[in-house]
Amino acid sequence: MPSVRPPAKRRPEGKKEEKEDRKGRRKRGRRKKGRYRKGDKGWAKGWDMEEEDRGWGWKGVESGLVATGASIWVQGNVVKSQGSKQKVELNVNKIIAVGKSDPSYPIQKKRVSREFLRTKAHLRPRTNTFGAVARVRNALAYATHKFFQENGFVWVSSPIITASDCEGAGEQFCVTTLIPSSREATDSLVDGIPKTKDGLIDWSQDFFGKPAFLTVSGQLNAETYATALSDVYTFGPTFRAENSNTSRHLAEFWMIEPELAFADLNDDMACATAYLQYVVRHILENCKEDMDFFNTWIEKGIIDRLSNVVDKDFVQLTYTDAIELLLRTNKKFDFPVKWGCDLQSEHERYITEGAFGGCPVIIRDYPKEIKAFYMRQNDDGKTVAAMDMLVPRVGELIGGSQREERLEYLEDRLDDLKLNKDSYWWYLDLRRYGSVPHAGFGLGFERLVQFATGIENIRDTIPFPRAPGSAEF
Pair 342, 419 in one domain:
yes
Q: Are residues 171 and 38 in the same domain?
A: no
* Number of domains, the chain: 2
Q: How far is CA 148 from CA 50, 69, 143, 389, in A?
A: 46, 40, 9, 19
8 part of a folded domain: no
Residue 304 burial (10 A CB sphere; 0-12, 13-18, 19+): exposed
CATH number of 138's domain: 3.30.930.10
Residues 89 and 218 in one domain: no
Calculate the CA dihedral of residues 460, 466, 468, 471 and round it to 10 degrees.
Answer: 120
- The DSSP result for 113-151, as a single string, is EHHHHHTTTTTGGGSHHHHHHHHHHHHHHHHHHHHHHHT
pLDDT at 17: 39
Q: Which are the contacts of 364, defined by CB distance < 8 A and separation ≥ 6? A: 265, 269, 316, 317, 318, 319, 385, 386, 387
| Pair (95, 25) in one structural domain | yes
CATH value at residue 33: 2.40.50
Tell me, yes or no, whether 102 and 132 share the same domain.
Answer: no
What is the per-residue pLDDT for 337?
96
Q: Are residues 314 and 284 in the same domain?
A: yes
The burial of 103, by beta-carbon neighbours within 10 Å (0-12 exposed, 13-18 middle, 19 or more buried), is given as exposed
Q: How far apart are CA 444 and CA 398, in angstroms?
A: 7
- Is 118 a domain residue? no
DSSP helix/strand/coil, 400: strand
Q: Could you tell me the residue range of the domain that residue 314 belongs to?
A: 128-176+212-460
Confidence (pTM): 0.87
Q: What is the mean pLDDT of each run of 10 residues along the chain (473 residues)?
A: 39 42 36 39 56 61 80 91 85 88 89 92 95 98 98 97 73 89 64 89 95 94 97 97 88 97 98 98 98 97 96 96 96 95 96 94 97 97 98 95 98 94 94 97 97 97 94 92
Confirm whether 392 is domain-assigned. Answer: yes
By C-alpha distance, which of 109, 102, 95 is closest to 50? 95
Q: How far apart are CA 52 and CA 29, in angstroms?
A: 13
pLDDT given at position 378:
98
> Is the domain of 244 the same as that of 383?
yes
- Contacts for 294 with CB less than 8 Å, ≥ 6 apart: 132, 136, 302, 453, 454
Element housing 226 (H / E): helix 219-229
Q: Where are the beta strands (DSSP E) in 144-262?
A: 154-155, 161-162, 174-175, 212-214, 231-239, 252-261
Q: How far apart are alpha carbons 420 and 84 in whole angstroms? A: 69
Cα separation of the two ends of the chain: 34
**Domain match, 359 and 424 both:** yes
Q: Are residues 362 and 429 located together in one domain of the fold?
A: yes
Res 84: pLDDT? 79
Out of 58, 82, 110, pick the residue that ends a domain.
110
253 with 152, same domain: the answer is yes
Residues 6+ apart with CB under 8 A from 113: 14, 18, 19, 20
On whether residue 123 sits in a domain, the answer given is no
Phi, psi of 259, deg, nearest 5: -130, 130
95 and 160 in a single domain? The answer is no
Helices (H) and strands (E) in the chain, counts: 13, 18
pLDDT for residue 188: 67
Q: What is the Cα gyration radius of the chain?
A: 26
**Residues 336, 325: Cα–Cα separation, whole Å:** 13
